[in-house]
Structure 1
Amino acid sequence: MDYFYYEGIPEASVLNGIIDLHEHVFEGSQLREKKLAEKENLIIFVACDRERVVGFKIGYKYSSDTFYSWLGGVHTDYRGNGIASELMRRQHEFIKSLGYIKVRTISRNIKREMLILNIKFGFNVIETFVSEKGKHKIVLEKGL
């Protein structure tokens, strides 16, 4: 497995791999390049099996000292191999080197694997809320 990171939007072949994988992981939900371009200090980590993007972790600046880990996922064929953990480890190490002191994320109870991974990595639940679409959300944060 090869791991790469990009500050900003990656080249087309990687971007298309991320968009396709996002649709697979989030069951048809589409990620648009325009939405990525709107994010300040966008950082994307990817896991690749040869040329194929099989995992990603996307985040951006939330505040001067906090990074927001926004989206992530691993293809179902590759789950259980530590890819999500490695992407998270690399993301946290890198953003710490940039001067961030906290990382924040939002998860859902139905995404148990991600919620458990966040807790294993030291995240604490700091609040919950119900989105405009009526979905229960869990806000987690950890110090770097």
Structure 2
Amino acid sequence: MNFTKAPLALPNVALTGYRLRYPGTASGSDFTVIRNDVASDALEAATGQWRWRQAPLPPLSAERLRSLEQWLDALPKDALIVESGKHTMCVWWQEAMSLENFQQNWANWLAMRDILAGSGKRAGEGIGPL
């Protein structure tokens, strides 16, 4: 769990971040998506329900992107932000789901983490001659 401040200024909305570490040395792509309900219209659409605050860097393969889009649209309505970085993926939400439903959905969250694992930069990538 992540008890730091959510990456979105929402007065009167308490969010808890559930942080999932990418396994081993398999880094994740850097991105942030925000649910349409709380996102600026100026942001590019990621799905019908989500907008990119930061599109994936490096870009996701077509298969990973399709999996991410389907997973995002299946998240509970109170999930408002998903961040991915080198070491972790974090889902920011209001925890309105029942424990039983959460336990059923947790496997999907872990599966998405595993799909994104390895989508980030590899050691030495992006380093060219000076």
* Same fold, judged at TM 0.5 (above): no
Decide which structure has greater helix share.
1
Decide which structure has greater strand share.
1
Tell which has more relative contact order, 1 or 2 (C-alpha 8 A, sep 6+).
2
